[in-house]
Structure 1
Amino acid sequence: MSIVDFHTHAFPEEIAERAMAKLQENCAVKACLNGTLNALIKSMDKSGVQKAVICNIATKPEQFYSILKWSQKIRSERIIPLLSIHPLDSEIKEHVKIIKEEGFPGIKMHPFYQDFAIDDERIFPLYEELTERQLFIIMHCGYDISFPQWDIASPQRIINVINKFPQLKFITTHLGAWKQWDEVERLMLGKNIYMEISFSFGWLSEHKIKEFLLKHPSDFILFGTDSPWADQSREIENLKSLSLPEELSHKILRKNAEKLLGINDFKNS
């Protein structure tokens, strides 16, 4: 079966070693890869992942154009980079326009690394522009392993955003919100809210993960690994071990991602 990994990370060769060392300073999880694009592609080849979405994160407003330049350089039939916009960017409207014109499908944001709450009204102009341009946003949701348990990306805040922007293609990571799964179950499960499933195996019981996947709308679940922080082959096996219905597995591993990315070119179903 063809597979899309909707949540990966990689860095330019010249900064990968430094970036990975910095990211692992306060992280209890050891990376599986060295953070380079070559390492990611080798992992994809080994695991059977045909396409990977690379989630860039702008930690400063001025990084927009360097991320754009690198994303233009690396994108291919297999590599789909997402741009990123910093909340303090003074040219949000122009930058979202550029993203659309350059053919990128959306952006990635991370409230812990970009210092914002996801339902802060200062972010609303960005959500408005993304909605207008029909671009999606994949948002780190829940807590983060490298930070204190700050309430800046919780399920309630997710609901606040979705209620305010019902047409926004808002993708939550880590099975709704990492380590806030009781609230996910209470507030999000069963609603038409995109959930990408990385960093749930090993943190939530397989029984509970399967329950979530069976109860949530099948068109709104995406496979992701958060590579290099998790091994792609292992995460695929973890999902397969749940013995989900075949059609649901196909949707999670490929079909739902194709729709969001606007692609439909796999030869194998």
Structure 2
Amino acid sequence: MVIDFHAHIYTDDMAPKAIASVKRRMGVRVPGLGTVADLRGSMAKAGVERSIILPLAPLPKHVRPTNDFFLAAADGDGLVPFGAIHPFQEDLEEELDRLQAAGVRGVKAVPFLQSFYPDDPRCDRLYQAVADRGMVLLLHAGKVPEDLPEFFGTPDRFARMAERHPDLVVVLAHLGGWEMWSGVREYLIPAAENVYFDTAYISPSLTSAEACDLIVEIGADRVLFGTDYPWTDQAEEICFVEGMDLSGREKRMILSENAERLLFPR
């Protein structure tokens, strides 16, 4: 079984616009269409049993309507939604309660998109609320393939956040900091025993051997397979992990078992 812990979808109207915008701004290859139907087709082709679909909500006013779309898109099995959340929204606790009542197991926030530093004390309200509810918090970590003045979510800041909130279950995307992996080694690996890391969109920047070395340092029991669909091809990303010099047991942990333990305990 394979669980993709990091996939994105858009409405049928928004998907072509979102993909065209990314291609124009970042000049990257985009193999997927970003629609629910295309993701389902990709999963069937790649042998992905479940995809965790992750929303983006730049402003607090975007959170609830975005979550409504993701809740409607979820099928209770193959497509598993996380909710959008903004650390500075007024109704933060109420929205978490609404999501949890709908069966949502985690939420996503994006430092560079929502303009917050992960170690800002003002974010403690979010971290405590997520921890109190036994939910998972997934955060974009590191850079993006775009020249931005600041990325906000750096490994040193995540390390300080994790140290202050040891009861919070955190997943840092892109192996803890896209194109900031020296900082992951310096700050995050020593400090963040409560942190998980996903593999989303690392293949365009790291070789399989380089990614494998970092995963070994982190520990395969804390790594989750993620693709960042539609920005990468799910089947190709499975091959990327399968090609690593890891044991069969370690690959199973990454491709499904760690995600099962976090989200689908038996």
Q: Work out the CA distance in 2 between the residues paired with 1:25 and 1:137.
A: 30
TM-score, normalisation: structure 2 = 0.93
Does residue 110 of structure 2 align to residue 110 of structure 1?
yes
Q: 1:135-158 CA distances to partner (integer Å, 9 max, x unpaired)?
A: 111100011112426251111001
How far did 1:188 drift? 2.2
Q: 1:148-204 CA distances to partner (integer Å, 9 max, x unpaired)?
A: 262511110011110111111111011111001111112223652211012222312
Q: Work out the CA distance in 1 between the residues paired with 2:258 and 2:4.
A: 11
CA contact (8 A) 1:112 1:147 kept: no
Q: Work out the CA distance in 2 between the residues paired with 1:110 and 1:204.
A: 22
How far did 1:128 drift? 0.9
Q: Report matched runs for 1:80-91 at 5 Å.
A: 80-91=80-91
Q: CA RMSD in A?
A: 1.6
CA contact (8 A) 1:143 1:149 kept: no
How far did 1:21 drift? 2.5
CA contact (8 A) 2:212 2:244 kept: yes
Partner in structure 1 of residue 73 of structure 2:
74
Q: Report matched runs for 1:85-100 at 5 Å.
A: 85-100=85-100
Partner in structure 2 of residue 207 of structure 1:
209
Q: Work out the CA distance in 1 between the residues paired with 2:22 and 2:109.
A: 16
Q: Work out the CA distance in 2 between the residues paired with 1:17 and 1:209.
A: 31
Amino acid at match of 2:94: E
TM-score, normalisation: structure 1 = 0.92
Does residue 24 of structure 2 align to residue 25 of structure 1?
yes
Structure 1: 5+ residue stretches without partners: 265-269
Aligned-partner SS, 1:13:
coil
Q: Report matched runs for 1:23-172 at 5 Å.
A: 23-76=22-75, 77-148=77-148, 150-172=150-172
Q: Percent identity?
A: 27
Aligned-partner SS, 1:5:
strand
Partner in structure 1 of residue 4 of structure 2:
5
* Change in 2 beyond 3 A, CA 1:214/1:97: same
Q: Work out the CA distance in 2 between the residues paired with 1:161 and 1:26.
A: 31
Question: Larger deviation: 43-52 or 214-223?
Answer: 214-223
How far did 1:263 drift? 4.8
Aligned-partner SS, 2:176:
coil
Count of equivalent residues:
263
Partner in structure 1 of residue 188 of structure 2:
188
Amino acid at match of 1:117: Y
